[in-house]
Structure formats: structure tokens, C-alpha cells
Amino acid sequence: MAQKQSSDQPSVQELIAKASNKKRKKIIEKLIPIILFLIASVSVLTTFGIIGTLITETVIFFSRIPVLDFIFGTEWFPFANTEPQYGILALIAGTLKVTFIAVIVAVPFGIGSAIFLSEYASDNVRRIIKPILEVLAGIPTIVYGFFALTFVTPLLQQIIPELKIFNALSPGIVVGIMILPMIASLSEDAMSAVPSSIREGALAMGSTKLEVALKVVLPAALSGIIASVVLAVSRAIGETMIVSLAGGSTPSFDLDVTGSIQTMTAYIVQVSSGDAGYGTTIYYSIYSVGFTLFLFTLVMNIIAHVISKKYREEY
């Protein structure tokens, strides 16, 4: 029984129109995307800020030190009173030594754990181990640095007596432990993404689990695994506190891992925590080193991106 609405009561439509205040709403709906876009552009501005500051300060540095001396020089003695030397190769050598040792530690253990977690472990075991790897990944690097200096170095000195207090070996191993969870969890993701039907096919043909893991899953997930290693290398190159605490501060262009070294990151920390005055060549040198470091990690990240995009096997 439809009762006719009395004319003095507003219709539902009018009520909605009244309550919703269309004009204000329209302005908000127009304004919000603009505000959000401005917020989103902060991240772009950050990148421009990083590149901009690094380049402008590096240009000032190169107006005082010849570019070629910087790129090809093998001596890094910025604090020398008479003839300071700025040869970045000495710092790069330190960085690469640490990175290389880290990769030797992290890749076998990381991929080994990834295979175990993805191919052998039961769900229960995985539920215990994965959070522990996350804890390992969440430990601040300063704690790792302290661990390298006060535990790993003395331990290594008992095996290699000629090892100095500051060396490349100990921070290298500890950086390896730091990037291990990253390789393990990213590789495990890549391997878990391989569909089970392929695994089951291989098992039905009589393969053992190991053969499935090494001959079927590993090749299928290879691009993801390599990308994870490249990303981890980029992390190792940019790692700062471990090498600052345990690596020392004597850059040297050689292959010795038992003696004191200095990495690019550790140099930046050394200069910043001392008091190199604003405007001195040493002050500008940290930007040139930072720029080199930035280029290294950028190239690594791009390589990782390309590998995981281009060579991914789709199922």
C-alpha cells in the first residue's frame, strides 16, 4: 500500500543532495589527486637530490684534482701534508675484496638454504626457519660490525696468526652473513614460483629429489637466483658500519686480505666523523667517493632488474 508522500517532506533524493554538499566534494575530489601526486613526487625529488648533490660537489672536487688521477690512481693518501693522493682504485680494491669474500660465504650457504627450504623442508620446519632468517636480516649492521671486530677477528687470529686486528677477511665473512638471508629468501621465492607440476613430472619419471632440485628447479629459477645474488652484491658494496669497525682505515691497492684495508663507504665515515672543514678538498672528496659508490650500486641494481625481467621463464 503505497502512501503518497506529503509535499512538505523532502524526498530521499533531496536529502542525499543536501547532506552530501556537492560543491565541497567536487573540490576535494579534484584536489586530492594533485596533493597525492605532489607527495609521490618526493621520492623522485630524492633521487634528483642525490644525483644533483653528488654531481655538483664532485665537479668542485674535479676542479682541484684531475679526473684521470682519480680514476686511475692507485694511491689514496688524502691526509698527507705535502702531496695528497686521490686514487680511487685503492678504495675500490678494498670494497671489492670485502664483497668478494662476502659472496664466497653467502652464495653457497644462501642457495643451499634456499634449496633446503623450498625442496626438502616440511611446512613446519619452514615455519620455524624463515622467521629466524628474518631476524638475521633485521639485525642492525652496527651489531654485525661489533661482532666482526670482537668475535670473528679474534677467532680468525687463532687460525691465521699473521692476521691484523683490522683486515678484509673478518668484515668480508660478516658481510657475507649479513647478505645471506637476502639471497636465501629471494632465491627461495624464485624456486617456490616454479610450478609443482614440473616437479611432479620429474619425480614421476623416477628422479630423486636432488635431481629434481638441481636439474629441473634450479635451471628454471636461475634468473631469479642470479638476480638475488646481484642485489646482495649491491648491498655488500654499500655496506658501511661493518667495514668501518672491522676493516681499518689504510686503503691499499693489492690482493692481501689479512692486512688493514679501507672501503669507499668506510672512507666517507672516517672523514665525516673526523673534522674535515667545510670547503676543503677532503670534504669534497667524500662526494666523489659517494658518487663512485652510487654508480657501482646503480649498475648492480639495473643488472638485477634486467636479469629478473628479461630472462624470467613464464609458466
Partner 1 sequence: MNYVNHKSVIKRMNKRLIVNRVFKTIFFIATLFALVVLAVLFYRIITQGIGYITPDFFQNFGSRFPEKAGIKAALIGSIWLMCVVAPVSIILGVGTAIYLEEYAKKNKLNDFIRMNISNLAGVPSVVFGLLGLTIFVRALSLGNSILAAGFTMSLLILPVIIVAAQEAIRAVPQDVREASYGMGATKWQTITQIVLPSAIPGILTGAILALSRAVGETAPLVVIGIPVIIQFLPENLLSQFTALPMQIYDWAKRPQAEFQFVASAGILVLMAFLLIMNSIAIFIRNKFQRKY
The residue among 39 and 204 lying less far from partner 1, judged by its C-beta, is 39
Max distance between CA atoms of the chain, in angstroms, equals 104
Task: Give the span between the Cα atoms of 152 and 172, in whole angstroms.
Answer: 10
Task: Show the cell assigned to 272.
Answer: 665525516
The residue among 5 and 41 lying less far from partner 1, judged by its C-beta, is 41
Task: Give the span between the Cα atoms of 156 and 170, in whole angstroms.
Answer: 7
DSSP E strand boundaries for 168-263: none
* Residue 150 binds partner 1, judged by CB under 8 A: yes
Region binding partner 1 by CB under 8 A among candidate stretches 82-90, 173-181, 197-205, 215-223 = 173-181
Region binding partner 1 by CB under 8 A among candidate stretches 79-87, 147-155, 192-200, 215-223 = 147-155
**Count of residues in contact with partner 1, rule CB under 8 A:** 81
**181, 137 contact by CB (below 8 A):** yes
Which of 90, 115, 191, 216 forms a contact with partner 1 (CB under 8 A)? 115
Q: Which residues, 223 to 282, sit near partner 1 by CB under 8 A? A: 231, 234, 237-241, 244-245, 265, 268-269, 272-273, 278
- The residue written with cell numbers 616454479 in the block is 194
The residue among 76 and 144 lying less far from partner 1, judged by its C-beta, is 144
Region binding partner 1 by CB under 8 A among candidate stretches 64-72, 84-92, 96-104, 289-297 = 289-297
- The residue written with cell numbers 680468525 in the block is 156
Q: Which residues, 56 to 85, sit near partner 1 by CB under 8 A? A: 57
- The residue written with cell numbers 671486530 in the block is 149
**237, 99 contact by CB (below 8 A):** yes
Vertex 124: Cα angle to 231 and 128 (nearest 5): 50
Please report how close the Cβ of residue 125 comes to partner 1 at its closest, in angstroms: 9
Which of 2, 8, 23, 37 forms a contact with partner 1 (CB under 8 A)? 37
